[in-house]
Amino acid sequence: MGLFIRGKTACELCGKPLRHRDAVVSFPAFLPGSHPLSRFSDATFHRSCFEAAPEHNEVERLHARHRQVWDARPRDLKTVAEMDAWARNAFQTVDRITHYARRALAAEMRNAMKKRRLP
Ligand SMILES: [Zn+2]
């Protein structure tokens, strides 16, 4: 997620700052830069701006799909290579979630593994 500072970060849709009292919606980086909806990836919005955007249902659908695949990952993978192989296969079936998202997930998995190894 890009750095989000209330009062400083601007809403990606209207360009106005996200203030303390504002209801906000944010998404992690889950779409590639080339995706037509990439401006919704790794970004934060006023809830009202997001809900008024005509694409919001499609963005929510893609994000839910992305989480679904990630949450269903096997918990017994032992090596980074096994995880990479899983991610490659798993995300082949997710429409429009591409190479970039798989790489982001592989990085997330590697970080999770490093944490698990700590005493
Ligand atoms: Zn806004």
Report the predicted TM-score, pTM, of the whole model to 2 decimal places. Answer: 0.65
Q: Which domain holds residue 106?
A: 24-117
If you measure from the C-alpha of residue 84 to the centroid of ligand 1, how many angstroms do you get, rounded to a whole number?
37
If you measure from the C-alpha of residue 6 to the centroid of ligand 1, how many angstroms do you get, rounded to a whole number?
13
- The reply to whether 28 falls in a domain is yes
Structural domain count of the chain: 1
If you measure from the C-alpha of residue 4 to the centroid of ligand 1, how many angstroms do you get, rounded to a whole number?
14
Query: Mean pLDDT score of the chain, rounded to an integer?
Result: 81
If you measure from the C-alpha of residue 39 to the centroid of ligand 1, how many angstroms do you get, rounded to a whole number?
13
Dihedral, CA of residue 101, residue 4, residue 46 and residue 25, to nearest 10: 40
Residue-level pLDDT at 94: 58
Q: Which residues pair with 45 in a beta bridge?
A: 25
% of the chain surpassing 70 pLDDT:
78
- The reply to whether 1 falls in a domain is no
Q: Could you tell me which residue, 8 or 45, shows the higher pLDDT?
A: 45
pLDDT per residue as tens digits for the range 91-115: 665 544 555 566 666 677 677 777 7
**Which residues line ion ligand 1, judged by CB < 5 Å?**
11, 13-14, 46, 49
- CB under 8 Å to 21, separation ≥6 — which residues? none
pLDDT per residue as tens digits for the range 69-96: 888 888 888 888 888 888 777 766 554 4
Say if residue 28's pLDDT is above 80: yes
- The reply to whether 15 falls in a domain is no
If you measure from the C-alpha of residue 111 to the centroid of ligand 1, how many angstroms do you get, rounded to a whole number?
32
Say if residue 1's pLDDT is above 50: no
